[in-house]
Structures are given as structure tokens and as C-alpha cells.
């Protein structure tokens, strides 16, 4: 490696170190204190630990209030929320579901578990979300709308729905995407797993589509340990998921009757209690995260090699994972940066390997994925725990 390249990497890591702390070992750590201890204690004292309990209802109410969605169904994970939302819109073997390849694995597998086909599409580099303009021209080329259905001219399958993602908490131009959905008769489920506290034109992420899916995994902005939720304004979707989330069980005073094939995807009261304690701090977390983003913005302001990703017009990011984008000239240094960071214990992270390039997903349909392939080599996530914003 050339001297100037070594310097560039060292400078980058020492810049990140100005913000990170020796006791923070992961990209995003939870912020827990006596509040979580006391609420968990309460669960145990009251003997309320399973999926039947007051904290589950309370947690759902808190999410409902914060996101201003009509209905909330808590789930065991964000992945199960995606699976349930897809089942609720009727995804099946005749359908292709458009998802970005620049994505966590959950959506692709949820699509496959519904016997549908994932169809990978490209993103834009401004916010790492699906590019509505590109999607429009791609669908113009490969599909035709017939009897209110979008048909893939090559596979003859119905292109049924799209699952956009708020990557790292960034919003994209959702109104433009909705126009594309209307034109091509696509349903929309929003993967807002990373986006609690993200808004587009004042409306919470996940409230634009038929359903939005949240995650409360340990690394998210608030955590219930493990957990997720489907948020929706659609009563039918709510009622159907309320059954599916509990093995397909119908509501009845005493009979145990199961109406649909489904697994148990419920959130336990212990997890929900943790989530309640965390939701009390959401405004505080969002404030710290914004402060942290500002610190990074300042540090990278004059850096020509690492561009700090900021929120776009009309959007409010929760800055879940702070992100820098490596300039084209230094793409070759990507692996070296991560290797050295590991040695120096700086918890930065690369992005997921693009889904279309994973062995078991290679065979599925895809658009050109120029930006996805490029951004995979350029995106670096920075330590983003809320506490670092203090």
C-alpha cells in the first residue's frame, strides 16, 4: 500500500475514534438503565411473562401513538412482521415482489416463504432507497398492465407488490414511488425496520403503504430485546394479521379454534415491557442520534474521500446508522479499511452483500443493479449508539 493510502485509512479511523468510545464494541448498542430493570422486575413480580399480558397492549398503544397509525400488531421480530404483512396482502406463487437488492436478507426470505419470487431492483445513491424514476422506466420496458395487473413480459408472472426499505433510517421520495405503484398496480409494504422516528413530509415511515414493518432488535433505535411490529391503517389487514400472528387462532371467549395455517409470531410480555421502557426515551434517543450525526457531519465536512450521508429534502431521518460514502478514487481501499478497523477495534461496518449476488438468490429476476453494486463497495457505517451523541 502506498504511504498516502495508509495515511488516508489512519486518518479516517482516528476521525471515527474521536466520536466512538472504548467501551462501545458494536455498531449500535442499546441504552438501558434502571427503568428497564424495574419494568422487567414488575413483569416477574406480576407473573406476566408470556404473550398474554398488559405490557404487550401498552407497547402496541405507544407505537400506535408515536407513528399515528390506526392499528399495530406486535411480533416476535421485524422479519416475522414482513412475513405476516406479505401474507396479509395475499402474496403467492403467481407473484413477483420487487425488493431492493441493497437490502437486509429478511424481505427476500419472507417473499420466498410466501412461495412468491423476489425481483431485485436498483437504488439511488442519494438515500440508498429504491429509485422511483429508474423503477418507472424499468417497468415500462419489462412489463405490461392488463386487467389491472402488472405482468412481467418475460416470466408471465404478476408483478404484485414492492417493498421499499428505509435504509439506515433514511427516507426516499415516497410520493414518487406511490405514483409508480399506482401506474403499475403494485401494492406496497414498507420495510421500516430501521426507521422508527423517521418521517417523510411529517408522516411516519411505514404509514404510506398498506402496511409498515418495524424491528425492535437489540441494535435498533429502541429495543425490546427481539421484536417487531406491523403498523397499518387497514382494518382487514389488521384483523388477518391478528389471527396469523397467533398460529391462525380466531378470537373466542373459550374455544381454541385455528382458521389459517400459521406459526406463532407473538411478542412476549417480557419483551414488550422492555419496549415500553424504551419508548419512554424515544425522543431522548432521537435527540442524541441527531447530535451524533451533527458531530460526524462536522468531522467529515472538509473530507474529500469520505462523504457523510445526510437526510434529503422533505425527510427527517432517525440517523439510525450514520453512513459515509467512500469516493470512487479510493474504492480499492475498502477491504483494507475494514481489516484495519478490526485490528484497531473501531466498530465500523460494511453493508450487506447485494442480495442478487448471494448463491441461492442468483436465479431470480433483476433489473440492472449498477448503483447497488457500486454502493456496496463504497458504503461504510459508523458507530451509531445513541450514547455517543452525548
Q: Which residues bind ligand PLP (CB under 6 A)?
A: 77-79, 104, 106, 165, 191, 193-194, 215, 217, 228
CB of 79 to ligand PLP, least distance (A): 3
CB of 254 to ligand PLP, least distance (A): 33
- Grid cell for residue 356: 442478487
Q: Based on CB atoms, which residue is closest to ligand PLP, 150 or 270?
A: 270
CB of 18 to ligand PLP, least distance (A): 27
CB of 174 to ligand PLP, least distance (A): 16
**Residue 242: exposure state from Cβ atoms within 10 A (0-12, 13-18, ≥19):** middle
CB of 110 to ligand PLP, least distance (A): 9
Q: Based on CB atoms, which residue is closest to ligand PLP, 217 or 278?
A: 217
CB of 193 to ligand PLP, least distance (A): 3
Q: Which of 323, 333, 252 is nearest to 289 (CA)?
A: 323
Q: Which residue is nearest to ligand PLP (CB)?
A: 78
**Rounded Cα distance, 190 and 43, in Å:** 32
Q: Based on CB atoms, which residue is closest to ligand PLP, 62 or 267?
A: 267
Q: Based on CB atoms, which residue is closest to ligand PLP, 48 or 80?
A: 80
200, 176 contact by CB (below 8 A): no
Dihedral angle, C-alpha 222, 228, 232, 238, nearest 10 °: -140
- Grid cell for residue 148: 389491472
- Grid cell for residue 376: 456496496
**Residue 344: exposure state from Cβ atoms within 10 A (0-12, 13-18, ≥19):** middle
Q: Based on CB atoms, which residue is closest to ligand PLP, 12 or 265?
A: 265
**Rounded Cα distance, 262 and 241, in Å:** 10
**H or E stretch including 204?**
strand 203-204
Q: Based on CB atoms, which residue is closest to ligand PLP, 85 or 273?
A: 85
Amino acid at each position: 500500500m502506498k504511504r498516502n493510502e495508509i495515511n488516508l485509512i489512519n486518518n479516517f479511523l482516528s476521525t471515527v475514534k474521536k466520536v466512538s468510545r472504548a467501551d462501545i464494541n458494536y455498531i449500535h448498542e442499546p441504552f438501558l438503565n434502571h427503568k428497564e430493570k424495574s419494568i422487567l422486575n414488575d413483569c416477574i413480580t406480576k407473573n406476566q411473562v408470556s404473550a398474554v399480558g398488559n405490557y404487550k397492549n401498552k407497547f402496541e398503544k405507544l407505537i400506535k401513538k408515536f407513528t399515528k397509525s390506526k392499528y399495530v400488531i406486535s411480533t416476535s421480530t421485524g422479519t416475522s412482521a414482513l412475513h405476516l404483512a406479505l401474507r396479509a396482502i395475499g402474496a403467492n406463487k403467481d407473484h413477483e415482489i420487487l425488493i431492493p437488492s441493497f437490502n437486509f436478507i429478511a424481505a427476500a426470505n419472507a417473499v420466498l416463504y410466501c412461495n412468491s419470487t423476489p425481483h431485485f431492483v436498483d437504488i439511488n445513491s442519494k438515500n440508498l432507497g429504491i429509485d422511483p424514476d429508474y423503477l418507472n422506466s424499468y417497468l415500462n420496458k419489462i412489463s405490461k398492465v392488463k386487467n389491472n395487473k402488472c405482468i412481467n413480459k418475460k416470466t408471465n408472472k404478476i408483478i404484485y407488490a414492492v417493498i421499499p426499505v428505509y435504509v439506515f433510517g433514511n427516507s426516499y421520495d415516497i410520493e414518487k414511488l406511490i405514483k409508480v405503484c399506482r401506474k403499475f398496480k403494485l401494492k406496497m409494504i414498507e420495510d421500516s425496520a430501521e426507521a422508527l422516528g423517521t418521517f417523510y413530509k411529517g408522516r411516519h415511515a411505514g404509514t404510506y403503504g398498506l402496511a409498515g414493518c418495524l424491528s425492535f432488535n437489540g441494535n435498533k433505535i429502541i429495543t425490546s430485546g427481539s421484536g417487531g411490529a406491523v403498523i397499518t391503517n387497514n382494518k382487514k389487514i389488521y384483523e388477518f394479521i391478528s389471527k396469523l400472528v397467533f398460529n391462525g387462532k380466531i378470537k373466542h371467549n373459550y374455544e381454541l379454534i385455528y382458521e389459517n395455517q400459521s406459526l406463532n409470531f407473538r411478542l412476549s410480555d417480557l419483551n414488550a415491557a422492555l419496549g415500553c421502557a424504551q419508548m419512554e426515551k424515544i425522543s431522548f434517543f432521537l435527540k442524541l442520534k441527531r447530535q451524533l450525526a451533527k458531530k460526524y457531519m462536522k468531522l467529515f465536512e472538509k473530507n474529500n474521500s469520505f462523504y457523510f450521508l445526510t437526510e434529503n429534502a422533505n425527510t427527517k431521518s432517525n440517523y439510525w446508522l450514520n453512513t459515509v460514502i467512500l469516493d470512487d478514487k479510493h474504492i480499492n481501499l475498502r477491504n483494507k479499511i475494514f481489516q484495519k478497523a478490526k485490528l484497531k477495534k473501531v466498530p465500523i461496518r460494511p453493508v450487506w452483500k447485494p442480495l442478487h449476488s448471494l448463491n441461492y438468490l442468483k436465479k431470480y429476476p433483476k433489473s440492472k443493479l449498477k448503483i447497488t453494486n457500486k454502493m456496496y463497495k463504497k458504503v461504510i457505517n459508523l458507530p451509531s449508539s445513541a450514547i455517543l451523541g452525548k
